[in-house]
Amino acid sequence: MVGLDLPWGELASFAFAIAGAGVVAGLLAGIFGIGGGAVLVPVFYQVLGLLGVDESVRMHLSVGSSLAIIIPTSIRSFTAHKARGAVDMELLKSFLIPVPAGVVLASLTAAYISSESLRIIFAVTTLAVAFRLLFNRESWRIGEKIPGNPARGIVGLLIGYFSTLMGIGGGVMNNTFMTLYGRSMHQAVGTSSGVGVLIAIPGTIGYIWAGWGNPLLPIASTGFINWIAVALIIPIALIVTPYGVRIAHALKKRQMEVAFGLFCVFVSARFFWSLIG
């Protein structure tokens, strides 16, 4: 990989940072039903930059590699939540077509969108997520029953589209959708883990296609997926995710929501700074 001539001490610190991100990503996958992409993408972006990966593909690689990692963490989280009866299978089945359709559209977009545009999408959406997490109130409701089609299908399409462009599992978006219609946070989290599976598998394939043959990609990359990053994260995240599920079913969410909301504010600010710096 470009940049591997850096001192071993620095490379070790980068590997440590990625490993730490894997721990946090695994916990988030279990606690919030998300794939941890909000953590992984900014970490990957920083590490790939320090390793000298070209700016034009750095964000794409960060997003694509995050999606690849979300596959096993989402599956692990989904099976754990389903065993506890916390998954709305009827809603999940209704997302089987619209969510992957949004993923396909996002993959087509990723093949042509610039790194700057991807960072803008990530920063703006992350800031919106932070607002929702920091100022969320249990009293916020749109209705008492989740709407049927076509509204439900459109929501699924949008969740799949924007989640794929951000490299996240769609958990925060689906959590918001379900809780705004009166569903419990536990059920929203459990169902979101299944949504993550619907996003991550086709999303990974889409990012491989979108980046296929790009001459600026670093070693061990297939399209916009870097397998070194994936190999470092997956074992750690798989071990940690069940502990996140235990936390999700044992603790109140408010402190975690505030902490994650503040983290999202920091990440959003960092990407906005990269756009003007």
Write the pLDDT tens digit of every residue in 190-218.
Answer: 898 899 999 999 999 999 999 999 999 98
- Residue 251 token pair: 């603790």
Which has the higher per-residue pLDDT, 29 or 49?
49
Write the pLDDT tens digit of every residue in 66-92.
Answer: 999 889 888 988 998 889 888 999 999
β-bridge mates for residue 226, sequence order:
221
- Region of 141 (left: φ > 0; alpha: ψ -120 to 50; beta: rest) is beta
Write the pLDDT tens digit of every residue in 101-130.
Answer: 999 999 999 999 998 899 899 889 888 878
The secondary element (H helix, E strand) that includes residue 9 is helix 8-32
For the chain, the first-to-last Cα distance in angstroms comes to: 25
Confidence of residue 1 (pLDDT cuts 50, 70, 90): very low
Question: In the chain, where are the structural domains located?
Answer: 8-276
Q: Is 218 helix (H, G, I), strand (E, B) or coil?
A: coil
Write the pLDDT tens digit of every residue in 213-247.
Answer: 999 998 889 999 988 888 888 888 778 878 877 87
